[in-house]
């Protein structure tokens, strides 16, 4: 916390230090004039309300970590222990970077609040299975230092740190970041590593459709955590039920992709994939449930959440169908992140009883 | 069952079981009372008594010529010990009349008509003013002003507010069960003065016995009022929320309930009206819920206005050893106290004592834009933005984002996972804005 912030919460009376100062004041007053009902103790003073929720930022962050676990587990199932070590490396790199900044800024210890851990974990799950583990850790360092701390730390970053880390790796190692291997469960011969295109790549460059079955279970090529639709949905539903993610964002994001993709498919089923394939392939589900719903970088207003999701959906379809890349989830979310402050500003809800001209 | 309600809001745990089955007990008359001359919204009343004067229970000791003001009465029979500054439960010192009780409880009653049903309306409303009746739900707005809406406003409905949405408080609940008939008489008088036919009684569905009791008396006396159970949700009892829940009407921003043809009064106020008009008793006592995990025997107590908190706390068995916080009112909008010599005022609905366990201490995290406050705000504001704008003193933007509409219910601060003092910052913002406006006006 900066000095300013500390002052702020002190003025408003939630800072514990303030409470003890209030006590001293009260004690002085009493000393001046003995009163009939002067209590035999010092009371805690604070402005109302005097009751608060038990929710907290660490609880939210660690719950998101929990929600990602099914997808992470499937990554290990499909891509082996290397996937596990990738996650460990990214999380540790993120935590160490966070700790370093804490030390440099001399601020409150935020390493264990879960926010750095989730950044590292999410980044790891967006990397190709054969990507260098050192490279992944480097991305996590970038995500925390440049993606988050440069802006002022938790709550102040404009872009989703994990996605910014991935964008950094994509720019730095374009070949390694687009080299995919099949899950070992999907390999036919006893070959150690088989490079293969992702379902989206296959469609874009070879016009080969992947069946929906493997897309649901995740037995296809792709980034570590993005392949298994079922695992992602389990975690995503958990987040929605606990209200740790705004349901409007995945709904509008996925809905836009489905509708827009569906229109293209109806017009020309030969050159455009069907909308279900659009939904289940690539990183869309993973992005829609775990990246786009990042509270810090998505709008706070309800109308804003709809706009955010629809915007991301449109950008994604444009990139997938007309861009040079087969996949565009990362860029669609990052671009909408940039619009979030603007969206917040122009979607002020009508106040109760307000009549809008 | 789904009862009518308003949008958004919160569901704090209510702890009402501590006192909701306990009949109201009368507090023994205190030796000393400290009666503030301002216990209402509007002009302060001027003290009419001097040190050494003898006063009777119910005698007027302060009043104002201003229309929007309240009349203040002595609440015990005794001698004025002092007219001076004493500690007030709202924090600062305030002008009060200190009366020491001498022996008996002699009442000076109001001059009431034989039958209120035939009395002229002007006289009834003048009596309500004379009796010093103000809104007992917490805002303490003078009732006689509410009951005489300007001629250009047409009022067609009256809502009796029995929501009592603040956790812990059961004072309204108990009087609805115990004084059902009197409350409905008060409602009849109020509706007669207003000249309206449609009467509604809004109660949260966590008070089934009160709903039953009111329904029964309404049926027996054939009053035709609608007793309407509402979802138990905070802030159901806030005037604008209640009107929306009961009638589906939205009070326009900056407007008053009468702009949508409604007047709302608290059940305690209706009881006070009945006691004034039919028994001639001015408002000198009220029911206070003394509760919390920090008090030995939680109770509903009828106390004279001006009784020090300490008397009520002693009557309820005293504070426990671990008690570290005492506040007046409910936990969502109440005021923390540091001295128990402060008096019960007309707006005191409860005295809540908390042990160390119930006191929540937090270090604030930065805002993570989760939108929980936006989803909780019953006024449909964006609290996180208002708090930031208040902090940065962007007063024009603060105005544009509607800060003045905040009812300060505290729902935003309650739900914030970062434990940012949102409503507290919004108060700061409102204050800064009004400061700027008065400077510009000057």
Q: Tally A–B CB contacts below 8 A.
A: 210
- Using the 8-state DSSP alphabet, how is residue B22 labeled? S
Q: Flag if B421 and A14 touch (Cβ within 8 Å).
A: yes
Neighbouring residues of A354: CB distance < 8 A, sequence distance ≥ 6? B252, B253, B380, B402, B405
Name chain A contacts of B311, Cβ cutoff 8 Å: 37
Closest CA relative to residue B277, chosen from B61, B63, B131 = B131
**pLDDT tops 90 at residue A259:** yes
What pLDDT tens digit does each residue of chain B (442 aa) get? 578 899 999 999 889 999 999 999 999 999 999 999 988 888 889 999 999 999 999 999 999 988 899 999 999 999 999 999 999 998 889 999 999 999 888 899 998 888 899 999 989 999 999 999 999 987 889 999 999 988 888 999 999 999 999 999 999 999 999 999 999 999 999 999 999 999 999 999 999 999 999 999 999 999 999 999 999 999 999 999 999 999 999 999 989 999 999 999 999 999 999 999 999 999 999 999 999 999 999 999 999 999 999 999 999 998 888 888 999 999 999 999 988 899 999 999 999 999 888 888 888 899 999 999 999 999 999 999 999 999 999 999 999 999 999 999 999 999 999 999 999 999 999 999 999 988 888 7
**pLDDT tops 80 at residue A297:** yes
Q: Using a CB–CB cutoff of 8 Å, tell me whether B44 touches chain A.
A: no
Sheet holding B60-63, edge to edge: B46-47, B60-63, B72-73
Best mutation site among B339, B351, B384, B394 for testing chain A: the one with the most A CBs within 10 Å?
A: B339
Q: Residue for token digits 């400077």?
A: B439
Q: Flag if B341 and A37 touch (Cβ within 8 Å).
A: yes
Closest CA relative to residue B238, chosen from B226, B228, B227, B250 = B250
Best mutation site among B259, B360, B416 for testing chain A: the one with the most A CBs within 10 Å?
A: B360
Q: How far is B305 from chain A (nearest CA, A)?
A: 17
Rounded Cα–Cα distance for residues B212 and B227 (Å): 9
Which 3-state string (H, E, C) describes B128-182? HHHCCCECCCCCCCEHHHHCCCCCCCCCCEEEEEECCCCCCCCHHHHHHHHCHHH
**pLDDT tops 90 at residue A14:** no
Q: How far is A345 from chain B (nearest CA, A)?
A: 9
> What is the reported pLDDT for A100?
95
CA dihedral over A233, A235, A238, A239, signed as positive or negative:
negative
Q: Using a CB–CB cutoff of 8 Å, tell me whether A240 touches chain B.
A: no
Query: Do residues B298 and B290 make contact, with C-beta atoms less than 8 angstroms apart?
Result: yes
> What is the reported pLDDT for A39?
61
Report residue B78: phi and psi, to 5°: 175, -155
Please indicate whether the domains covering B16-20+112-279 and B28-110+284-358 agree at the CATH topology level: no
Distance set, CA B44 to CA A112, B60, B71, B147 (Å): 54, 14, 9, 20
**CB nearest B325 (choices: A43, A295, A302):** A43
Q: For residue A40, with 0-12 CB atoms within 10 Å meaning exposed, 13-18 middle and 19 or more buried, which class applies?
A: exposed
CATH homologous superfamily, domain B16-20+112-279 = NADH-ubiquinone oxidoreductase 51kDa subunit (3.40.50.11540)
**CB nearest B402 (choices: A8, A11, A351):** A351
> What is the reported pLDDT for A64?
96
Closest CA relative to residue B75, chosen from B349, B344, B347, B351 = B344
Query: Do residues A95 and A137 make contact, with C-beta atoms less than 8 angstroms apart?
Result: no
Q: Per-residue DSSP letters for B331-360?
A: TTT-EEES-TTPBP-TT--EEEEEEGGG--
Bridge partner residues of B83 (DSSP): B97
**Lowest mean pLDDT, pick from A28-37, A40-49, B86-95, B156-165:** A28-37
Q: Return the CATH number of the domain spanning residue range A57-346.
A: 1.10.3430
Quote the longest CA-to-CA distance of chain B. Answer: 64
Identify the band that residue A187 occupies on the pLDDT scale cut at 50, 70 and 90. low
> What is the reported pLDDT for A22?
46
Both tokens assigned to B350: 């409860």
Closest CA relative to residue A148, chosen from A296, A13, A298 = A296
Nearest CA in chain A to B251: A353
Rounded Cα–Cα distance for residues B243 and B235 (Å): 12
Q: For residue A69, with 0-12 CB atoms within 10 Å meaning exposed, 13-18 middle and 19 or more buried, which class applies?
A: middle
Nearest CA in chain B to A297: B369
CA distance between the termini of chain B? 55
- List the alpha helices (DSSP H) in A173-289: 199-201, 212-217, 229-241, 248-267, 275-280, 284-286
Sheet holding B323-328, edge to edge: B25-26, B299-304, B285-291, B350-355, B323-328, B335-337
> What is the reported pLDDT for A38?
58
Q: Using a CB–CB cutoff of 8 Å, tell me whether B237 touches chain A.
A: no
For the segment A286-296, the average pLDDT, to the nearest whole number, is 95
Name chain A contacts of B362, Cβ cutoff 8 Å: 14, 52, 56
Name chain B contacts of A17, Cβ cutoff 8 Å: none
Q: Flag if B253 and A352 touch (Cβ within 8 Å).
A: yes
Q: How far is B409 from chain A (nearest CA, A)?
A: 8
> What is the reported pLDDT for A43?
87
CA distance between the termini of chain A? 42
Closest CA relative to residue B398, chosen from B430, B350, B372 = B430
Q: Per-residue DSSP letters for A265-284?
A: HHH-TTTS--HHHHHHSTTH
Closest CA relative to residue B98, chosen from B30, B185, B41 = B30
Buried b (16+ CB within 10 A) or exposed e, B271-289: bbbbbbbbebbbbbbbbbb
**pLDDT tops 90 at residue A48:** no
Q: Using a CB–CB cutoff of 8 Å, tell me whether A39 touches chain B.
A: yes
Bridge partner residues of B107 (DSSP): B57
Q: Using a CB–CB cutoff of 8 Å, tell me whether A21 touches chain B.
A: no
Q: How far is A23 from chain B (nearest CA, A)?
A: 8
Buried b (16+ CB within 10 A) or exposed e, B64-74: beeeebbbbbb
Closest CA relative to residue B308, chosen from B132, B87, B51 = B87
Q: For residue A128, with 0-12 CB atoms within 10 Å meaning exposed, 13-18 middle and 19 or more buried, which class applies?
A: buried
Name chain A contacts of B378, Cβ cutoff 8 Å: 352
- Domain parsing of chain A, residue ranges: 1-52, 57-346
Q: Using a CB–CB cutoff of 8 Å, tell me whether B404 touches chain A.
A: no
Report residue B335: phi and psi, to 5°: -115, 125
- Domain parsing of chain B, residue ranges: 16-20+112-279, 28-110+284-358, 372-441
Q: What is the four-CA torsion angle of A212, A216, A219, A225, rounded to 10 degrees?
A: 130
Closest CA relative to residue A117, chosen from A55, A58, A54, A177 = A58
- CATH classification number, B28-110+284-358, choose in 3.40.50.150, 3.40.50.720, 3.40.50.1370, 3.10.20.600: 3.10.20.600
Q: Using a CB–CB cutoff of 8 Å, tell me whether A174 touches chain B.
A: no
Interface of A with B in 50-69 (CB under 8 A): 50-53, 55-57, 59-60
> What is the reported pLDDT for B428?
95
For the segment A319-348, the average pLDDT, to the nearest whole number, is 92
Closest CA relative to residue B234, chosen from B226, B246, B243, B242 = B242
Distance set, CA B379 to CA A25, A198, B231 (Å): 36, 49, 17
Q: Flag if B362 and A300 touch (Cβ within 8 Å).
A: no
> What is the reported pLDDT for B75?
94
> What is the reported pLDDT for A188?
52
Rounded Cα–Cα distance for residues B320 and B145 (Å): 42
């Amino acid at each position: 916390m900066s000095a300013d912030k500390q002052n702020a919460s002190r003025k408003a009376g939630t800072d514990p230090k303030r409470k003890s100062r209030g006590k001293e004041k009260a004690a002085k007053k009493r000393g001046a004039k003995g009163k009939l009902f002067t209590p035999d103790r010092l009371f805690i003073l604070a402005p109302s309300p005097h009751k608060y929720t038990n929710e907290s930022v660490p609880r939210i962050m660690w719950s998101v970590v929990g929600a990602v676990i099914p997808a992470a587990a499937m990554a290990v199932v499909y891509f082996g222990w290397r996937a596990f070590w990738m996650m460990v490396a990214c999380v540790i790199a993120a935590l160490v970077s966070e700790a370093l900044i804490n030390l440099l800024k001399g601020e409150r210890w935020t390493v264990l609040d879960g926010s750095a851990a989730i950044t590292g974990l999410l980044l790891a799950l967006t990397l190709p299975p054969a990507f260098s583990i050192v490279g992944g850790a480097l991305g996590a360092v970038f995500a925390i230092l440049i993606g988050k701390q440069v802006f002022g730390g938790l709550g102040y970053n404009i872009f989703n740190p994990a996605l910014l880390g991935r964008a950094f790796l994509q720019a730095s190692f374009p070949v390694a970041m687009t080299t995919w291997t099949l899950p070992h469960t999907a390999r036919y011969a006893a070959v150690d590593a088989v490079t293969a295109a992702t379902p989206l790549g296959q469609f874009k460059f070879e016009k080969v459709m992947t069946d929906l079955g493997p897309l649901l279970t995740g037995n296809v090529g792709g980034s570590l955590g993005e392949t298994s639709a079922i695992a992602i949905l389990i975690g995503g539903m958990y987040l929605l039920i606990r209200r740790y993610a705004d349901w409007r964002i995945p709904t509008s994001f996925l809905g836009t992709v489905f509708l827009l993709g569906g229109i293209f498919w109806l017009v020309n089923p030969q050159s455009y994939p069907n909308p279900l394939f659009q939904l289940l392939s690539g990183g869309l589900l993973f992005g829609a449930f775990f990246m786009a719903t990042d509270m810090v970088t998505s709008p706070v207003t309800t109308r804003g959440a709809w706009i955010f999701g629809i915007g991301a959906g449109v950008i994604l379809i444009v990139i997938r169908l007309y861009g040079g890349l087969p996949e565009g989830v990362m860029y669609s979310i990052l671009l909408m992140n940039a619009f979030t402050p603007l969206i917040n500003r122009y979607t002020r809800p009508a106040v109760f009883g307000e009549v809008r001209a | 069952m789904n009862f009518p309600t308003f949008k958004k809001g919160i569901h704090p745990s209510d702890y009402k079981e501590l006192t909701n089955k306990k009949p109201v007990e009368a507090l023994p008359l205190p030796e000393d009372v400290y009666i503030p001359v301002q216990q209402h919204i509007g002009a302060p009343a001027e003290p009419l008594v001097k040190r050494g004067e003898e006063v009777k229970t119910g005698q007027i000791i302060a009043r104002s010529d201003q229309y929007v003001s309240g009349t203040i009465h002595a609440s015990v029979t005794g001698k004025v010990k002092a007219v001076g500054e004493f500690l007030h439960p709202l924090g600062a010192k305030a002008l009060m009349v200190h009366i020491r009780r001498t022996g008996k409880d002699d009442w000076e009653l109001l001059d009431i008509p034989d039958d209120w049903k035939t009395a002229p309306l002007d006289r009834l409303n003048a009596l309500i003013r004379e009796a010093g009746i103000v809104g007992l739900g917490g805002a303490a707005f003078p009732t006689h002003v509410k009951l005489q809406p300007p001629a250009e406003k047409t009022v067609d409905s009256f809502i009796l507010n029995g929501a009592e949405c603040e956790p812990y408080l059961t004072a309204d609940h108990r009087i609805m069960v115990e004084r059902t008939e009197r409350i409905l008489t008060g409602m009849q008088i109020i509706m007669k003065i207003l000249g309206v036919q449609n009467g509604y009684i809004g109660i949260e569905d966590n008070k089934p016995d009160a709903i039953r009791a009111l329904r029964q008396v309404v049926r027996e006396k054939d009053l035709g009022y609608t007793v309407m159970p509402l979802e138990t949700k905070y802030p159901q009892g806030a005037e604008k929320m209640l009107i929306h829940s009961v009638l589906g009407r939205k009070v326009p921003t900056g407007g008053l309930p009468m702009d949508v043809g409604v007047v709302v009064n608290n059940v305690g106020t209706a009881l006070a009206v009945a006691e004034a008009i039919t028994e001639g008793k001015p408002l000198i006592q009220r029911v206070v819920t003394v509760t919390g995990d920090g008090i030995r025997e939680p109770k509903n107590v009828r106390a004279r206005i001006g009784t020090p908190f300490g008397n009520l706390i002693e009557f309820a068995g005293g504070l426990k050893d671990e008690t570290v916080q005492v506040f007046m009112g409910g936990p969502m909008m109440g005021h923390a106290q540091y001295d128990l010599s402060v008096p019960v005022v007309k707006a005191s609905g409860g005295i809540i004592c908390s042990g160390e366990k119930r006191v929540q201490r937090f270090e604030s995290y930065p805002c993570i834009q989760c939108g929980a406050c936006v989803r909780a705000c019953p006024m449909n504001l964006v609290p996180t933005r208002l708090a930031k704008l208040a902090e940065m003193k962007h007063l024009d933007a603060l105005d544009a984002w509607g800060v003045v509409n905040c009812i300060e219910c505290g729902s935003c601060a309650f739900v914030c996972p970062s434990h940012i003092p949102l409503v507290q910052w919004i108060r700061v913002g409102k204050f800064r804005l009004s400061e700027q406006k008065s400077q510009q006006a000057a």
